[in-house]
Amino acid sequence: MKKRLGLYLLILVLITMSLSACGKSEDTGGGSVDSDVIKIGVFEPMTGANAAGGEMTVEGIKLANEVKGEILGKKVELVIVDNKSDKVEAANAVSRLIEKDKVVAIIGSYGSSLSMSAGDIVKQKEVPAVGCSPTNPLVTLNNDYYFRVCFIDPFQGTVMANYAFKDLGARKAAIIQDVNQDYSIGLSKYFMDAFKELTGDPDSIVEISSYNTGDQDFSAQLTNAKGKNPDVIFAPGNYGESALLIRQARDLGMDVPILGGDTWESPEFLSIGGDAVEGTVFSTHFTAESPVTDVSKVFLDDYKEKFGKDANAFAALGYDAYMVILDAIERAGSADSKAIKDELAKTKNFVGATGNITLDENGDAVKSAVINQVDKGVFKYLTTVEP
C-alpha cells in the first residue's frame, strides 16, 4: 500500500512539472511586465576611442531619466553598461542587458559598428533598441527591432557634398577614411556618390586614402592627397584621429578646406586640433544656437543647470532616444518589449530636443541636418539643411 501511494505521489509530481513546463513560453530575455520597475538598458562607449561621444550621450539619457523617471505608475531604472568602444564588448553588453538585467528596451550606441554588433541579438531576443547617433543605414536594415532618432549617412553625405560643391565651389575632392569604422566608410561612399553626381564628373574624386583606428601618423595619406591638388578634403572619422590628421595637413602646408561628419562635435576635437582645426566644417544633428522646439529650450536649460555646460548634439540625441521609448511605452500601455517595438514603429511627429521625430518604414528618423564650423575655438552654427 505504501509503495502504491508513493508511486501515485511520484506520478502527480511528474504531471505537475510537465504542466508547468508546457505553460512556459519561450524566454526572449525581456523584463517582466509585472515588475514595479521598468528597466531600460544603455550600452554606450564610456572608455576607448569613442568614449567622449558615449559620455555625452549618457549625460543626455540620465537627464531625461531625471525629467521623466516614471511611466505607467512604475519607476524607470537605467542599467548602463560600457561597451568599451569594442564590437565584441558591445555584443556582450547587449546580451547581458537582456539575459541578466531583463531590460525591456535598449538605448545605444554611439558608433555605427557598435550598434551593428548588437543588431542580430536584439532581433533574436525581440527586445527593441533605439540608437541615438549611429548613422550607417545598415544599423536598421532588415531589423524590425532597431530604431534610431538621428538622420542617416545617405542624407548626411549628400548634405556635405552639396556644401563642398555649392558653397565652396569645389570640383575635385580627396577622401581620407578610417577603414575600421563602418561609419567612416559608409559616409565617405555617400559623399562620393553625391559629389560625382553634382559635378557630372566620374573622376571628380581624385584620391581615396585609408587609415586604421588609432593611427597617429597620416603623412602618407596627406602627401598623396596633396599631390592630387584637390579643392576639398572629406575626412569623416573619430574626433581624435581627425584632429591629428588636420594638424598634420596644416603642418604640410595644406590650406585646402577639410570637411567631416557628426563625430567631430566633441570638445576633444577642439583640444587635440587646436588652431589647426579653425575653419573646418562638419555636419551634425543639433545646435544650442538654434533651438528648434520648445522641448529644445527646456532641455538646454536643464542640461546647463545639471552639468554646468552647454549641451551638444549627442546629449540631445540621448535625451530624445529615452523620451521616444517612454512615449512608446505610454502609448502601448505596457512595458512588454514586443508592444514597445510595435509602438516605436508608429512614432510620428514626436516633439524632441533635436526636432520633430517621425520614424519611417525602416525605423530611421526623418529630420534635418545642421552644419557647424569651428570659429575661434568653438563650434558655430552655419545653417540647417532640410531632408
Q: What is the pLDDT of residue 236?
A: 98
What residues contact 248, with CB distance under 8 A and at least 6 apart?
217, 218, 219, 222
- What pTM, to 2 d.p., does this model score? 0.88
Q: What is the pLDDT of residue 35?
A: 80
Please write the tens of the pLDDT for every residue from 295-331. 999 999 999 999 999 999 999 999 999 999 999 999 9
Question: Which architecture, in CATH terms, is 37-150+291-367?
Answer: 3-Layer(aba) Sandwich (3.40)
Angle between helix 182-199 and 112-125 (nearest 10): 110
Contact 270, 377 (CB under 8 A): yes
Q: Above 50 in pLDDT, residue 358?
A: yes
Q: Above 80 in pLDDT, residue 16?
A: no
Average pLDDT, the chain: 92
CA quadruple 299, 305, 306, 312: dihedral positive or negative? positive
Cβ-based burial of 68 (10 A; exposed 0-12, middle 13-18, buried ≥19): middle
> Residue 351 is which amino acid?
V
Retrieve residue 168's grid coordinates. 565652396
Please write the tens of the pLDDT for every residue from 47-95. 999 999 999 999 999 999 999 999 999 999 999 999 999 999 999 999 9
Give the pLDDT band of residue 229 (cuts 50, 70, 90): very high
Q: Above 50 in pLDDT, residue 28?
A: no
Retrieve residue 287's grid coordinates. 545646435
Q: What is the pLDDT of residue 10?
A: 40
User: 10 Å Cβ neighbour count for 71?
Assistant: 17
d(Cα 333, Cα 31) in Å, to the nearest integer? Answer: 15
User: How much is the average pLDDT of 255-264?
Assistant: 98
Q: What is the pLDDT of residue 31?
A: 58
Bridging pattern class, strands 129-131 and 146-148: parallel
Contacts of 334-338 with CB under 8 Å at 24 or more apart are: 334/33, 334/72, 335/31, 335/33, 335/35, 335/38, 335/71, 335/72, 335/74, 335/104, 336/30, 336/33, 336/104, 337/28, 337/30, 337/31, 337/104, 337/105, 337/126, 337/127, 337/128, 338/30, 338/126
CATH H-level superfamily of 154-284: Response regulator (3.40.50.2300)
d(Cα 133, Cα 119) in Å, to the nearest integer? Answer: 15
CA quadruple 157, 159, 164, 166: dihedral positive or negative? positive
Q: Is 114 helix (H, G, I), strand (E, B) or coil?
A: helix
Q: What is the pLDDT of residue 141?
A: 97
* CA nearest neighbour of 226 among 201, 261, 258: 258
Work out the percent of the chain whose per-residue pLDDT is above 70: 91
d(Cα 75, Cα 299) in Å, to the nearest integer? Answer: 21
* CA nearest neighbour of 51 among 2, 84, 9, 74: 84
What's the angle, vertex CA 234, arms to CA 263 and CA 165, rounded to 5?
120
Q: Is 383 helix (H, G, I), strand (E, B) or coil?
A: strand
Q: Is 205 helix (H, G, I), strand (E, B) or coil?
A: strand
Retrieve residue 206's grid coordinates. 581624385
d(Cα 144, Cα 61) in Å, to the nearest integer? Answer: 23
d(Cα 325, Cα 78) in Å, to the nearest integer? Answer: 12
Domain with CATH 3.40.50.2300 in the chain: 37-150+291-367, 154-284
Q: Above 50 in pLDDT, residue 21?
A: no
Retrieve residue 312's grid coordinates. 551638444
Retrieve residue 40's grid coordinates. 531600460
DSSP conformation letters of 157-187:
HHHHHHIIIIIS----EEEEEETT-HHHHHH
Give the pLDDT band of residue 14 (cuts 50, 70, 90): very low
* DSSP one-letter code for 31: P
